[in-house]
Amino acid sequence: MPTIKDVAREAGVSIATVSYVLNNKQAAVSAPTRRHVIEAAERIGYRPNVTARNLRSSQTRLIGYAWYDAPGNEAPSGRLNSVLEWFTFYLARAAEQAGYHLLTFTYPIGEPEPTYHELIRTGRVDAFVLAGTVADDARVQFLIEQGFPFVSFGRSNPEWQFPWVDTDGKEGVQQAVNYLVGLGHRRIAMLGWPEHSLTGNFRLAGYLEALTQAGMPVNPNYIWRGDHTVQAGRDAVEWFCRLPASEQPTAIVAVSDLMAIGLMQEAARRGLDVGRRLSVIGFDDVPMTEFLRPALTTIQQPIPEIGEALISMLETVLNKQEADVANLLIPPRLVIRDSCAPPLD
């Protein structure tokens, strides 16, 4: 395997010059010499020893990212989060384009600190990316206390200062409600997450604000909360159907596509024609939603943009530069399909 000495011999320069070029140091190396060295390295097939280079620079070029929930059939109670699976792909792609790789890992539910501490202690990663953050998030608090670099897809306690990027869920749900109001709906319900969910509360705030702006009262019977499961969507329809017929909602905005799917299943079982009798809007635009019958109108999260923004923000943190913005909210987009129509009554 060719070495740095072979590159120097091929290029007719010193080993020090080759080292400057391959480590991207500008000192005393002209642009023509730099090109000459790079061409020589390519001719003889030289490949740098990444591990050795990282050791010299005290960097691993690895970013830690934890899977905190089981995927697929192992997930409890039908919990799926394909948004985070999608996010992982775009995060990895953005990291690789910046010269980093993801080191994925898991930790025991409710006990993240020991795993994070071990990765920091052993120098396995340069930084972390968090996702699925919650109020009083132990990971956020631990990393702030450790002074270790990290960024987050999602927010936590407002008094904690740390770099994050998030979807503007409030603005997304406002788009959904405004669209339904424009179709003529006046009995619009919201299927949300439990009260401890920060993300769910941001989205619920969009529902409440949109109703207020439309001059419509908030009916407490139209707000139903449940876990992120298909069953929660089914349970919500059962709850709404207990209301008098004249008071039942004609449209429902769900805080996630998964819950909207359960909602659509139960509505169909009860003979409620989704897309005609009942309008439904989800949130996330997971791949399966366009293949439902009817295809689900939903709010598309800007996942590729979020992945790129997080890696850019993390590079700023690692380079100890002053960030243009410490936090970033990216607006989602309403994707209109077939699950909504003007009310029949």
For residue 46, CA distances in Å to 13, 25, 31, 61 come to 15, 18, 20, 20
Q: How many domains does the chain have?
A: 3
- CATH number of the domain where residue 188 is located: 3.40.50.2300
Domain co-membership, 122 together with 181: no
160: in domain: yes
Q: Tens-digit pLDDT profile for the chain (345 aa)?
A: 788 888 889 999 888 888 777 766 655 677 788 888 888 888 888 876 544 455 444 567 899 999 755 444 444 444 456 788 889 999 999 999 888 999 999 998 888 999 999 999 888 999 999 998 989 999 999 999 999 999 999 999 999 999 999 999 999 999 999 999 999 999 999 999 999 899 999 999 999 999 999 999 999 999 999 999 999 999 999 999 999 999 999 999 999 999 999 999 999 999 999 999 999 999 999 888 999 999 999 999 999 999 999 999 999 988 877 666 689 999 999 999 999 999 987
pTM score:
0.79
CA distance 163 to 325: 9
**3-class secondary structure, 89:** helix
Q: Among candidates 146, 153, 152, which has minimal Cα distance to 116?
A: 146
Q: Which domain holds residue 21?
A: 4-48
Q: Among candidates 295, 300, 301, which has minimal Cα distance to 280?
A: 295
173: in domain: yes
54: in domain: no
- CATH number of the domain where residue 16 is located: 1.10.260.40
251: in domain: yes
Domain co-membership, 179 together with 297: yes
Inter-residue contact 241 to 270 (CB < 8 Å):
yes
CA distance 33 to 30: 5
